[in-house]
Amino acid sequence: MPEELRQIFYSKAVNEALDEELARDPNVALIGEDIGLYGGAFGVTRGLFEKYGPRRIQETPISENSFVGMAVGAAMLGLRPVVEIMFMDFIALALDQILNSAGKLHYMYNGQVSIPLVVRTPGGAKGGYGPSHSQMLSNLFVGVPGIKVVAPSSAAQVKGLLKSAIRDPNPVVFIENKRLYPQRGPVPEGEYVLPLEKAVVTPGEQVTVVAYSAMVPICLALREALLPRGISLEVVDLVSLQPLDRETIFASVRKTGRLVIVEEACVTGGVGAEVSALVAEHCLDALEAPIRRVGAADVPIASSIELEKFILPGADDVLRAVRGVLEW
Amino acid sequence: MLARLRAEGLTSDQLAACFRRMLRIREFEEALGDLFTRNLLGGTSHFCIGQEACAVGVVGALRETDWLVSNHRGHGHLLARGLDPYRVMAELLGRTDGYCGGRGGSQHMCAMDLHFLGTNGITGGGIPIGTGAAWALRYQGRDEIVVVFFGDGASNQGTFHESLNMAALGKLPVLFVCENNGYGMSNPAASSVAVPHVADRAVAYSMPGQTVDGMDVVAVMQATQAMAERVRAGEGPALLELMTYRFCGHSKNDPRVYRTREEEATWGERDCLTVAAQSLRDRGAAEAEITRLREEAHQEMAAVVERALAAPTGDRDHALGGVYA
């Protein structure tokens, strides 16, 4: 990306994508809690209510399952609703409509309808939000057919991917990240779209590090830090958690022979587990060390910031795993 | 299906048309029960035998362009809207000629060209979908309305309360129709609904609520028309409760231990088909004519079943493809 690009916050990049898509397509409508004048719990929709009014920016009571269901019904009649779930933890309240309606209707109605729906939600911990406001629940959507799951890791990505998600004819769970909202990055102005299903590779030689969402900048920083020491990490930013860009993952593992998977979700039964299983199935012959997974401990996320540090993965954990596969 | 209902009631022709449509639904369900008995289809089905007047009365009072959302007990709603019974039966039998190619089946059947947004296998799952469809209609400035069917059991789901609240706040063009058949599976409404009538819940959401005899197709039609007009005029949503009874069990394997045969017999005297047949007689219809209508419906369904059983099922590509648009 050229140097002269302006730097904007990840949250502003989301706002810009929403603004541009609202302006581009009259069927795009936002729906959710406190997204009007208040601008959303994290200020992401700030200014849009003033610009587009209550018809396009539909505020709702605290009724997650039903307003996601409403978005599904509206999508059946041609709207392109973009739902905001204030904290990803609250998506539990809307899972019925996501997995029993949104993900199935196109298939079970034999193609009579498509559900161009985006459910945006910030996952992840930001320090002290506690057990019900900190989870990265990407694991919940592993093995749920019919929905796409996207987890952008930078300001530019979040803009380009959100615009693509809104234009996609399928339901997309769009995982933003509270820790990323206040991070700046270079973002192109105006029309800028990125493919939803393509992983992004930052090349290296010795170890493949697969990561997504807020773990990506941590892994990229570690890659920079290790280069002077002669350790070269290839960071594969998954971008899409469903479907997974298998070929990109496999090509990287075949090149490096070593794999570390890093995620903010609990390690058990999630995206990392799925990547691990796929690599074991398809690339076992290329592996020179056992696969290592780094993620949140399988415990609720404690409120105390000091306790939280023991639970969530950090750069040290990634470094330890990288050493582990290199020294095996 | 029918010309617009006049305030004083139905013409004899309109009543006969209702009777025929109700007979078609009854015969459809009985034929389906027979297929289960013969082990010719898998899974389960929720029969609406006894509730035909609700489907026919409500749908008959609407415009063909109004949108319908149904629930797990949806065959009556589908046939009342005028879906081809052959293609509905084919869907239940998992055949490619079915409305959803066998992918949806009984509880997940949709016909967008007939403005039927789908039956729904999750109790209460269709209520927000219908509310959202109404949001879209208002957003697009259209004059159709949405009717959402659900049961007394679903009125205990959060989606019912959340959706009625949001529909009322937005004055959305949606008519909520509760077919109260007295039981949520085995659970009597009296033990699960904390107010005497589901319609009583309307007051909590500042909308009109009305309880009507769901065994009388004319009463259902008149009440629906009055409420639909109000909804269409932009006065906001309404809740219509139809008191009815399913003469069969909840689904195919229900021994009905939770209710007495006496109770069933009492309701049986008010079978909507008996009520409608008597109205026809009162208007001078000959017994032979009523018998002829019954026989026609029976023969129609026998042909439907035979044809649907002979239809092909989908291949592997049909099973595995089409997950994403």
Task: List CB contacts (< 8 A) between B112 and chain A.
Answer: 76, 109, 112-113
CB contact under 8 Å between B112 and A109, yes or no, is yes
The whole-number pLDDT of residue A3 equals: 59
Q: Give the N- to C-terminal CA distance of chain A in Å, as an integer.
A: 37
The whole-number pLDDT of residue B3 equals: 41
Interface test with A, best of B95, B97, B135, B320 (most A CBs within 10 A): B135
Instruction: Report residue A98's pLDDT band, with 50, 70 and 90 as the boundaries.
Output: very high
C-alpha to C-alpha distances, B148 to B46, B58, B179, B314, nearest whole angstrom: 17, 10, 10, 31
The whole-number pLDDT of residue A2 equals: 54
Instruction: Report residue B254's pLDDT band, with 50, 70 and 90 as the boundaries.
Output: confident
Task: List CB contacts (< 8 A) between A108 and chain B.
Answer: 100, 103-104, 108, 110
Concatenate the DSSP letters of all residues of A137-158 into one string: -GGGGTT-TT-EEE---SHHHH
**CA dihedral sign, ordered A279, A284, A288, A289:** positive
d(CA A88, CA B99): 36
Q: Which of A63, A104, A169 sits opposite B166 (nearest CB)?
A: A63
Interface test with A, best of B70, B71, B108, B113 (most A CBs within 10 A): B108
CB contact under 8 Å between A110 and B131, yes or no, is no
In a domain, B196, yes or no: yes
CB contact under 8 Å between B100 and A108, yes or no, is yes
Minimal CA separation from A164 to chain B, in Å: 14
The whole-number pLDDT of residue A173 equals: 98
Instruction: Report residue B5's pLDDT band, with 50, 70 and 90 as the boundaries.
Output: very low
Residue of B nearest to A104 (CA): B323
Phi and psi for B92 in degrees, rounded to 5? -65, -30
Residue range B233-257: mean pLDDT, rounded: 93
* Model confidence at B174: pLDDT above 50: yes
Residue of B nearest to A98 (CA): B125
* Model confidence at B140: pLDDT above 80: yes
Domain harbouring B169, CATH code: 3.40.50.970
Instruction: Report residue B9's pLDDT band, with 50, 70 and 90 as the boundaries.
Output: confident
C-alpha to C-alpha distances, B37 to A141, B24, B41, B86, nearest whole angstrom: 39, 20, 9, 20
Residue range B257-286: mean pLDDT, rounded: 95
Q: Which residues of A touch B (CB under 8 A)?
A: 29, 55, 58, 60-61, 63, 65-79, 81, 96-97, 100-101, 104-116, 145-146, 148, 169-170
CB contact under 8 Å between A104 and B132, yes or no, is no
* Model confidence at A1: pLDDT above 90: no
d(CA B304, CA B321): 28
Minimal CA separation from B155 to chain A, in Å: 14
pLDDT more than 70, % of chain B: 98
CB contact under 8 Å between B125 and A106, yes or no, is no
* Model confidence at A110: pLDDT above 60: yes
d(CA B209, CA B226): 12
Q: β-strand A184-186 against A207-211: which pairing, if any?
A: unpaired
Interface test with A, best of B87, B106, B166, B169 (most A CBs within 10 A): B166
CB contact under 8 Å between B129 and A70, yes or no, is yes
Fill in the DSSP letter of residue B62. S
pLDDT in tens, A265-308: 999 999 999 999 999 999 999 999 999 999 999 999 999 999 99
Yes or no: say if B142 and B108 are a contact pair by the CB < 8 Å rule. no
Minimal CA separation from B325 to chain A, in Å: 6
Instruction: Supply the residues of A annotated as catalytic.
Output: 64, 133
Among A158, A271, A276, A266, residue whose Cα is nearest residue A217: A158
Give bridge partners of residue A175 from the DSSP assignment.
Answer: A121
* Model confidence at B8: pLDDT above 90: no
d(CA B244, CA B271): 9
Residue of A nearest to B110 (CA): A109
Mean per-residue pLDDT over chain A, rounded: 97
Q: Which residues of B touch A (CB under 8 A)?
A: 67, 69, 99-101, 103-104, 108, 110-112, 117-118, 121-122, 125, 127-137, 139-140, 158-159, 162-163, 165-166, 169, 322-325
Domain that holds residue B164: 12-311
Domain extent listing, chain A: 8-186, 200-327
Among B175, B164, B181, residue whose Cα is nearest residue B61: B175
3-state SS assignment for residue A61: coil
Residue range A69-97: mean pLDDT, rounded: 98
List all residues 6 or more positions away from A72 whose beta carbon is below 8 Å from its beta carbon: A97, A101, A102, A105, A115, A117, A171, B128, B129, B132
CB contact under 8 Å between B324 and A148, yes or no, is yes
The whole-number pLDDT of residue B249 equals: 87
Say if the ipTM goes beyond 0.90: yes
Alpha helices (runs of H) in chain A, residue ranges in sequence order: 10-24, 48-56, 64-76, 95, 105-108, 155-167, 215-226, 246-256, 271-283, 305-311, 315-327
**CA dihedral sign, ordered B185, B191, B197, B201:** negative
Give the count of beta carbons closer than 10 Å to the beta carbon of residue A39.
17
* Model confidence at A198: pLDDT above 50: yes
CB contact under 8 Å between B103 and A97, yes or no, is no
Give bridge partners of residue B6 from the DSSP assignment.
Answer: B9
Q: Crossing angle, helix B12-37 and helix B217-232, to 10 degrees? A: 110
Task: List CB contacts (< 8 A) between A61 and chain B.
Answer: 162, 165-166, 169
Q: Crossing angle, helix A64-76 and helix B158-169, to 10 degrees? A: 70
Residue range A179-185: mean pLDDT, rounded: 97
Q: Which of A61, A78, A169 sits opposite B165 (nearest CB)?
A: A61
Question: Into which CATH architecture does domain A200-327 fall?
Answer: 3-Layer(aba) Sandwich (3.40)
Phi and psi for B109 in degrees, rounded to 5? -115, 135
Phi and psi for A172 in degrees, rounded to 5? -125, 125
Task: List CB contacts (< 8 A) between A170 and chain B.
Answer: 324-325
pLDDT in tens, B67-112: 999 999 999 999 999 999 999 999 999 999 999 999 999 999 999 9
pLDDT more than 90, % of chain B: 94
Yes or no: say if A257 and A290 are a contact pair by the CB < 8 Å rule. no
Give the count of beta carbons closer than 10 Å to the beta carbon of residue A120.
28
Yes or no: say if B137 and B171 are a contact pair by the CB < 8 Å rule. no
Yes or no: say if A212 and A263 are a contact pair by the CB < 8 Å rule. yes
Task: List CB contacts (< 8 A) between A111 and chain B.
Answer: 322, 325
Minimal CA separation from B139 to chain A, in Å: 7
pLDDT in tens, B29-77: 999 999 999 999 889 999 999 999 999 999 999 999 999 999 999 999 9
3-state SS assignment for residue A306: helix
* Count of domains for chain B: 1
The whole-number pLDDT of residue B4 equals: 44
Concatenate the DSSP letters of all residues of A68-104 into one string: HHHHHHHHHTT-EEEEE-SSGGGGGGGHIIIIIIITT
Range with the poorest average pLDDT among A215-219, B89-93, B247-251: B247-251
Fill in the DSSP letter of residue A118. E
Give bridge partners of residue A84 from the DSSP assignment.
Answer: A32, A120
Give domain A8-186's CATH number out of 3.40.920.10, 1.10.510.10, 3.40.50.970, 2.60.40.2230.
3.40.50.970
Interface test with A, best of B138, B162, B320 (most A CBs within 10 A): B162
CB contact under 8 Å between B136 and A72, yes or no, is no
Q: Render the burial of A75-105: b for 16+ CB within 10 Å, e for the rest.
A: bbbebbbbbbbbbbbbbebbbbbbbbbbbbb
3-state SS assignment for residue A119: strand
Pairwise pLDDT comparison (B254 vs A97), residue with the higher score: A97
d(CA A301, CA B183): 42
